[in-house]
Amino acid sequence: MFLVYNLGSIASAFMITAGTFAGMSFVGFVTKKDMSSFGGQLRGALIGLIIATIVNGFILKSGPADFVLSIITVLIFIGFTAYDTQKLKQIYMHYQDQETLGSIAISGALSLYLDFINIFLSILRIFGGRD
């Protein structure tokens, strides 16, 4: 990554990602709306995104399509951030003081980490200045 993008672009993308991630995680934590119905929709959108990315990568090889797919990736994963945060909050409230909470916390942390990484890489593709 450091060989492809300049350091300023990486730092900017990281700051944008951190702010976006924190904001959406806060929304997922405090919202009263049940977001469980969004999980299936987000997974369906992710499957469509994967198929579109494969088609663009191997068949179309279109730069503008890659740009649009990066924007869609950001939108999908900010949705996943809010969804995963709310899901983890609900799980914590249900399983308080139980031994299984440790393994659930590790799984939840991995989900949120993957959300962050995907947002970061997509924002870097959108705004990143290449060396």
20-24, 82-86, 91-95, 123-127: range with lowest mean pLDDT? 91-95
Confidence class of residue 129 from pLDDT cuts 50, 70 and 90? confident
Query: How many angstroms separate the CA atoms of 58 and 66, rounded?
Result: 12
Return the pLDDT at 58. 95
Return the pLDDT at 18. 98
Burial call 33-54: b when 16+ CB within 10 Å, e when fewer: eebeebeeebeebbeebeeebe
First-to-last alpha carbon distance for the chain, in angstroms, is 11
The full set of domain ranges for the chain reads 7-127
